[in-house]
Structure 1
Amino acid sequence: MRRTYGHAPTLDEIETLALAALARLPQGFRAHLDGVAVLVEDFADDETLAALGIEDPFELTGVYEGVPLGDKFAAASGTMPDRIRLFRASILDEWIARGDESLEHLVAHVLIHEVGHHFGLSDADIDALEAGA
């Protein structure tokens, strides 16, 4: 179902789409996402962009911040909770540029990509899985 918007979707609307996508994941995956926060912001902050070597904030639609599951045993105590940050303006920009994809699908795609990082997958691993799907 393609939903239309009479305005640019808000942070809350993007969050609703992201949480719905998360709820659709198989239980086996969702069980490992307890405690992972999902946040929606307009853009990544300058510190995040610099750490990733990205100059244009429109190039980053989401980021996973935390310790991947396979590395949890080695993580120092007192680390920050894991979180997935989605960037509304960048997602909307990509959605408009694509033109043929629903916003729900794009938000789910970005969220699942970041969930992949939580499971320890690299961008290349995620791209290979998507190409094979």
Structure 2
Amino acid sequence: MIVPAHLQAPSLDDLEALAQDAYARLPEEFRRLCEGVVIRVEDFPDDETMQEMGCETPFDLLGLFRGIGLAQGGSMMHTGQFPNMVWLYRRPILDYWAEHEETLGGVVTHVLVHEIGHHFGLSDEDMEAIEAAAG
């Protein structure tokens, strides 16, 4: 397959737009429960995160949930507490996308649902059902 020379890799802003679109398509009752979760897109995880997660390369991690999930009693914010955050890592996501038969939007939706699922303590089956509902 020949790729036209004028094409560029999706930017951080492009992935942010895909993530916001994916989030908007999630079931309403699921989004209501996510109130206050911040979605961030970065090129790669930082060195501290890579070390904490045991990553060998910066491409090992597609996304990460940071915070106190509802499964751990994190339904209320406390003074000085950072908001619950989902990090999506652009370059590892693009690398994964290039090697698989999925749309980029599908990969972003999968990673987003998986990371938000950690917020709720959901099973893989629950997350698959939410992904299916998001289209």
Indicate the TM-score class for this superposition, using the shorter chain for normalisation. Answer: 0.7 to 0.9
Q: Percent identity?
A: 46
The alpha carbon displacement at 1:78 in A equals: 2.3
Q: Which runs of 5+ in 2 are unaligned?
A: 1-5
The alpha carbon displacement at 1:57 in A equals: 1.1
- What amino acid maps onto 1:86 in structure 2? L
- What amino acid maps onto 1:97 in structure 2? E
CA distance in 2, matches of 1:110, 1:89: 13
CA displacement, residues 104-132 of structure 1 (integer Å, 9 cap, x when unaligned): 101111101001011123xxx3268539x
CA displacement, residues 7-60 of structure 1 (integer Å, 9 cap, x when unaligned): 100000001001101001111110011111111000000101111111211010
Q: TM-score, normalised by structure 2?
A: 0.83
CA displacement, residues 45-77 of structure 1 (integer Å, 9 cap, x when unaligned): 010111111121101000000111131269864
Alignment match, 1:56: 57
Aligned residues: 124
Would you say the 8 A contact 1:67–1:75 is kept in 2?
no
1:127–1:56 distance in 2 versus 1, CA, 3 Å: farther
CA distance in 1, matches of 2:54, 2:116: 21
- What amino acid maps onto 1:78 in structure 2? G
1:126 maps to 2:111: no
CA distance in 2, matches of 1:118, 1:126: 13
1:97 maps to 2:99: yes
CA RMSD for the aligned pairs?
A: 2.2
SS of residue paired to 1:31: helix
1:88 maps to 2:90: yes
CA displacement, residues 68-106 of structure 1 (integer Å, 9 cap, x when unaligned): 1131269864221111000000000000011x2110101
- What amino acid maps onto 1:56 in structure 2? T
- What amino acid maps onto 1:113 in structure 2? H
- Superposition pairs of residues 1-133 of structure 1, within 5 angstroms: 6-70=7-71, 71-72=73-74, 77-98=79-100, 100-121=101-122, 125-126=123-124, 130=128
